[in-house]
Structure 1
Amino acid sequence: MEVDALTIVLTIAIAVVLGYIKFNKSEPDVHPLLLQQQASVTPIRCEGESAIHRSKSVPHGSPLSKQPSEKVKTLYDVWQVGSAINPTGRALMYMIQNQFGYTDTTYEQLDRKIAGFGTSLIKETGLKPKTETPIGLLTQYTQESFVAQQAFYRYSFVTVPIHDLRNKDLLIDIANQTKMKVLVATHKVLPLLLPALKECPSIKTVIVIGIYISEQQKAEAAQHNVKLLKFADMEYQGASNPLPAVKPDPEDLAMINYNTKSTSLSKGVMLTHANLVAAMTAFNLSLPGPRKFTNKDRLLSHFSIGDVIAVWMTGAIILAGGSIVFPSGLMKNVLHDSQATTPTVFASTPVILEKIQEALQLTYGQGSMFRQAYASKLALLRNNRVTTTSLWDFIGLGEVRSRLGGKVKLIVTTNPTKADTIEYIRAAMGIHVISTYGRTETSGIVTSRNMYDYSNTPQLGAPVGCNEVKLIDDEESGYSCSDEPNPRGEILIRGPNVMKGYFKKPNATSAALDQDGWFHSGELGSFHANGTLELLGKKKKKKTAKDSSPGQE
């Protein structure tokens, strides 16, 4: 049977048209009606208060989300369950000594490192597990700091991350408040740390992450009765005869977090294992079914060791048996790190996402093909569709997406991220973005924006499943819960993710946590008709007597 040229041309034309229709269909990713009410709201409210808002997954009358299963109640349990999924599978990826290449570690190998370091920690320092002993972390978020934190969970110690690696006064302030005896520090901070030891008399051991410790540094530490130990040696020495785990209880402290870069009356937020597991659980529950994490997922996070979001994001990936990438830590390498490791989940700060947008726009934004492709993808986004399979993804935007490795399916960030940055990522790269709002006192999460809510509004999303949220009238700002069209006032949060209190500051704790368990955030917000929260700024502080020092309380 002969086929003439006209038939062939018509067949190709029909195929092209059908393909174009398929790849550029404008049906929304989720029906708009599903976004009209995103929270469960109480039908009644008290005088001077808004209605209480919850996640739709935990309506009023049902218990708030606390844990993913009966087996997982602590961060130690998270590691045990996740590592059992694929013990020989990749757990971590990290840069090889500042070279442009990455190596990896399996769950089995990493477990030996964790047990080895924890064992040496106990034997070398004499610290007693299960005594809520604080141990400082003065380092970037690296594979070593990850091993240290997991060892603290395994042997029931308390992590004290120190955010600013260059602020000697902050280090001294935190060390003296917590009376920490042991500090894990990167070798890069030794020039700052060693002179500070004379003002931190409680510190007796510094465990140094790095290859080399000089004799001069050892001698300088010895002048203050402090010994320097190498992190790598401790991992190796303890692994030969590891001590059995000393499992924490859910209500045991996991972290004292001084979420600040300033000194003077810094407040340490006490977070328990139960707090952090609740935050992780609620975030997992907020993900749509097809987007749940699996052991095929890989997380690249740019949050610092002091950001609580890094703890529960990492926990969420571990619980699924996935892997974690530790970036080089240099802003100029952000795109290279992602290309080299091909993550599927990218967790990053607003500043870094905005820098990525600027870099890509500078490289590709002037081309006519890109502009036409972006305009077409933006039109799809306006019709509530994020995709990587449109015609323009194949002929105009493929290289743009590849700059993050080509496999990223989800970006998680925090408020405030610029609306046009989020729009750029969704349209140009075809990647879903979830923006979260939280406080250190709430384990880093309160609300999470619906993955399919692509509107350019300032709303922060609805409450996640571990907490409930309400507003109360605020006289200083003039905001009232009776305001029209939306109630306004101070944001209050209650749930298992809310902190135990401020370390050795009962006055500050009682001022922030009321008798009914509500945390008074000091931030102002408004509830929209669809149940989502908008942030309106900080509450004006009343002139009161300063919180007394730790020694006076």
Structure 2
Amino acid sequence: MPVKIVDWPIIDYNNQSVAVPGTKKPGQTAHYRNGVFGYIDDKTPNCVRTLTEVWDNGFEVSRNKRFLGHRPIISTQPLKYGPYVWETYAEVDLRRRNIGSALCHMFGKGELGGGDLETVGIWSQNRPEWQIIDIALQSYRKVGVSLYETLGKDSAEYIINHAHITVIFVTKGHIPTLLKNARKTPLKLIVCIDDLSEEAKKIFTSWGEAQGVRMLELRDIEQIGKVNLIEPFPATIEQIASICYTSGTTSNPKGVILKHGHLALSLQSCLYGTSVPPDTVLFSYLPLAHIYERLAELLCISFGGAIGYFTGDPLRLLDDVQTLKPQYFPSVPRVLNKIYQGAMLAGNVPGFRGAIFRKAVATKLEALHTIGTNIHPFWDRLVFRKVRAVLGGNLIQVTCGSAPISPEVMDFLKISLCCEITEGYGMTETCATCCRCIPDDPSSSGTVGPPQPINEVKLLDVPAMAYSAEDQPNPRGELCIRGWNCFSSYYKDEKNTIETVDEDGWLHTGDVAEIDQCGRVKLIDRVKNIMKLAQGEYVALEKIENLYSSSPMVAQIYVHGDSLQSYLLAVLIPEPLQLSNLATHVLGKKVDETDKAAMEAASKDPKVNAAVLTLLTKEAKRNALKGFETIKRIHISLDSFTVENGTMTPTLKIRRKDAYAKYKADLDALYALGEPSGTQAFKL
């Protein structure tokens, strides 16, 4: 039976969610549910309830159509990639049966396993094999555990031990790391996704034998399955499909237990109001170990769509997407912000050309904010087709998640890409599902829309931060979520489970939200990572970082406070071109962004520092930050926060403790200057 895709009915934008009668209690709001589609759960007719049903639906619709695509290397010197080549649903079906059968055979013989779950690891960048292996695990009652491509050896070792992974599918670059630490883990089998040369295979096999670990290639596993073939098993709604590890910013990763029902019903909820056609092509570049990308690809599979994977090189991202020309582009603010900044730099220039650009933007923004339309036959053809071409020119749907994005950027993307641009909100613990903006809503930017059909939400008072369900004009408080997509426990972690999920099944997000008069959720603060300044004011550091990040000058920013001080500092990693242009203007001499020495000198120049701080202060005022929330001094560095230097998680969130340790001397020196008499403004 094909999946149930439900079209948008006539929408009342003033009533996007509704309060459930009788649910209001002291200290919290009523429960809010979707005002367009109502509420769905595991009893709703015609819903998919397991991931095996998701696969069966996609396979039935698109058996002989293209499914998974990649760009093969056609030259190594220079490195050059060819056009996309594809595997069909039927070809993938054979491969998933072979892989799944081999794993069942080996677990059945006792060659693998020994933990309380039959877990299987995947440590690889996005590629067709990642998806094929995962589909095999879903189909043969195995529990997938995905590791971020950028994961360090300590975190990888922790997850392998915590989840008792005895077999892991990896790309060849990770094999040395695994073999070096093999005796500290339960690993029994490493399966290399890449084809190895005879020499490399001999070396790894010998090394593995010395460590008590068997080495095979993916084609070996497929051959084992081919001669021991068994039929796939239908899953049940309560069957565990995955342990998805969240990358902790302060502690070890937490393993979120996700069942087939959690993921399938999240996907079903996303099918309410979906606007992508069955022959949609999705561009895959966000890490598949992250729940957001994983759900997007499951959504594509459910209606028989195709998925094209990027080459793995972020510098080739635009070349990949322009080659693929996708209809569906799941994305994140850090990428969309760059598209916005590039378009504004190219279009908003002096003279006639810039005047035409500004007229086109103003005309389309007025229409967007008045009637919700982002299409204009004249301006789209004359001005915005070049912006659309950056992402291939065929986009129908762009989704934005994982972090906040400014309303100005969202509005510009809507009018320039001329397609549906949807911001949403979710967590690993909710299978990337909770809220989603409704298309053509004239004022949705800056919100994450109403709760999705699978969810109900409520707000709890946060007295320490002066947020209350009784606030006017809109209730405010900590966002809590309930529904069939919400997890119920962390793996082997009762303490964090109890702290996150209450006895009534409400998941406490740690995010502060308000519910506006249209019934939309707007994220405004964080309960976590708050601190108290010396004068007693509470500040939410992540919230402040997100607001400053909308400045074109900001590539990365770490905001720091000390409870013995009355003001905030920041470490700023600037966008090179923006710093180059500003420094050239301030210093009266050319500072080229490719001249490392000149850029370093500019970053340390007091006049440049003051000019950058002036820009940031304007951004603070634009976002209505209070005085104590405004950064008073900055340290500018060209040394980015990265996973490799230990200052970022694999999901690209700053590890606060490690970032502070890296820049402690610089931050302490700024505080040693004493109380600022006022932000030093630089006339730009």
TM-score (norm 1): 0.85
Partner of 1:535: 523
Between 186-195 and 491-500, the greater mean CA deviation after superposition = 186-195
- In structure 2, how many angstroms separate the alpha carbons of the residues matched to 1:338 and 1:128? 40
Partner of 1:335: 318
Q: Is 1:281 matched with 2:268?
A: yes
Note the alpha carbon deviations across 1:489-511, whole angstroms, 9 max, x for none: 11111110010310011232222
Instruction: Give 1:526 shift.
Output: 1.4
Partner of 2:285: 302
- In structure 2, how many angstroms separate the alpha carbons of the residues matched to 1:540 and 1:449? 25
Work out whether residues 72 and 81 of structure 1, in 8 Å CA contact, stay in contact via their aligned partners in 2: no
Aligned ranges for residues 367-446 of structure 1 at < 5 Å? 367-368=353-354, 369-414=356-401, 415-446=403-434
Partner of 1:547: none
Match of 1:498 among 471, 479, 486: 486
2:291 partner letter: V
Q: Is 1:313 matched with 2:296?
A: yes
Work out whether residues 159 and 255 of structure 1, in 8 Å CA contact, stay in contact via their aligned partners in 2: yes
Instruction: Give 1:473 shift.
Output: 1.5
1:48 partner letter: G
Q: Is 1:224 matched with 2:208?
A: no
1:204 partner letter: K
Where relative contact order (Cα < 8 A, 6+ residues apart) is larger, the structure is 1
SS of match in other structure, 1:480: coil
SS of match in other structure, 1:471: strand
- In structure 1, how many angstroms separate the alpha carbons of the residues matched to 2:211 and 2:303? 45
Structure 2 vs 1, CA of residues 148 and 436 (structure 1 numbering), >3 Å: closer, same or farther?
A: same
Aligned ranges for residues 227-306 of structure 1 at < 5 Å? 227-239=214-226, 242-260=229-247, 264-287=251-274, 291=275, 293-306=276-289
1:334 partner letter: L
Match of 1:191 among 162, 171, 176: 176
Q: Is 1:118 matched with 2:100?
A: yes
Work out whether residues 122 and 128 of structure 1, in 8 Å CA contact, stay in contact via their aligned partners in 2: no
Instruction: Give 1:297 shift.
Output: 1.1
Between 258-267 and 350-359, the greater mean CA deviation after superposition = 258-267
- In structure 2, how many angstroms separate the alpha carbons of the residues matched to 1:454 and 1:130? 52
- In structure 1, how many angstroms separate the alpha carbons of the residues matched to 2:515 and 2:376? 36
- In structure 1, how many angstroms separate the alpha carbons of the residues matched to 2:302 and 2:9? 28
Q: Is 1:209 matched with 2:193?
A: yes
Match of 2:53 among 77, 86, 104: 77
Match of 2:14 among 5, 26, 36: 36
Partner of 1:160: 145
Note the alpha carbon deviations across 1:121-171, whole angstroms, 9 max, x for none: 333454579974111111112111100100000001111111253411101
Partner of 1:88: 64
Q: Is 1:520 matched with 2:514?
A: no
Work out whether residues 524 and 536 of structure 1, in 8 Å CA contact, stay in contact via their aligned partners in 2: yes
Instruction: Give 1:419 shift.
Output: 2.3
Work out whether residues 372 and 441 of structure 2, in 8 Å CA contact, stay in contact via their aligned partners in 1: no
Partner of 2:441: 453
Note the alpha carbon deviations across 1:321-362, whole angstroms, 9 max, x for none: 111111123222222222211211111121112223334444
Structure 2 vs 1, CA of residues 503 and 396 (structure 1 numbering), >3 Å: closer, same or farther?
A: same
- In structure 2, how many angstroms separate the alpha carbons of the residues matched to 1:189 and 1:128? 21
Structure 2 vs 1, CA of residues 51 and 286 (structure 1 numbering), >3 Å: closer, same or farther?
A: farther
2:19 partner letter: V
Structure 2 vs 1, CA of residues 294 and 127 (structure 1 numbering), >3 Å: closer, same or farther?
A: farther
- In structure 2, how many angstroms separate the alpha carbons of the residues matched to 1:464 and 1:537? 21
SS of match in other structure, 1:160: strand
Note the alpha carbon deviations across 1:193-233, whole angstroms, 9 max, x for none: 32222322x11111111121442222222222111211133
Instruction: Give 1:399 shift.
Output: 2.8
- In structure 2, how many angstroms separate the alpha carbons of the residues matched to 1:263 and 1:96? 39
Match of 1:181 among 152, 162, 166: 166
Where structure 1 has 5 or more consecutive residues not aligned to the other structure, the ranges are: 1-28, 544-553
- In structure 2, how many angstroms separate the alpha carbons of the residues matched to 1:382 and 1:446? 25
Between 325-334 and 167-176, the greater mean CA deviation after superposition = 325-334
Structure 2 vs 1, CA of residues 512 and 166 (structure 1 numbering), >3 Å: closer, same or farther?
A: closer
Structure 2 vs 1, CA of residues 131 and 249 (structure 1 numbering), >3 Å: closer, same or farther?
A: farther
- In structure 2, how many angstroms separate the alpha carbons of the residues matched to 1:99 and 1:492? 46
- In structure 2, how many angstroms separate the alpha carbons of the residues matched to 1:132 and 1:349? 33
Equivalent pairs counted in the alignment come to: 506
Q: Is 1:472 matched with 2:460?
A: yes
- In structure 2, how many angstroms separate the alpha carbons of the residues matched to 1:94 and 1:196? 32
Work out whether residues 473 and 479 of structure 1, in 8 Å CA contact, stay in contact via their aligned partners in 2: yes
Structure 2 vs 1, CA of residues 540 and 395 (structure 1 numbering), >3 Å: closer, same or farther?
A: closer
SS of match in other structure, 1:232: helix
- In structure 1, how many angstroms separate the alpha carbons of the residues matched to 2:263 and 2:381? 41
1:55 partner letter: N
TM-score (norm 2): 0.69
Match of 1:54 among 7, 13, 33: 33
Between 235-244 and 301-310, the greater mean CA deviation after superposition = 235-244
Work out whether residues 157 and 181 of structure 2, in 8 Å CA contact, stay in contact via their aligned partners in 1: yes
- In structure 1, how many angstroms separate the alpha carbons of the residues matched to 2:46 and 2:268? 12
Instruction: Give 1:537 shift.
Output: 2.2
Partner of 1:10: none
Work out whether residues 474 and 516 of structure 2, in 8 Å CA contact, stay in contact via their aligned partners in 1: yes
Instruction: Give 1:111 shift.
Output: 0.6
- In structure 2, how many angstroms separate the alpha carbons of the residues matched to 1:491 and 1:451? 23
1:328 partner letter: T
- In structure 2, how many angstroms separate the alpha carbons of the residues matched to 1:361 and 1:386? 21
In angstroms, what is the RMSD of aligned CA positions?
2.7
Partner of 1:108: 90
Structure 2 vs 1, CA of residues 127 and 74 (structure 1 numbering), >3 Å: closer, same or farther?
A: farther
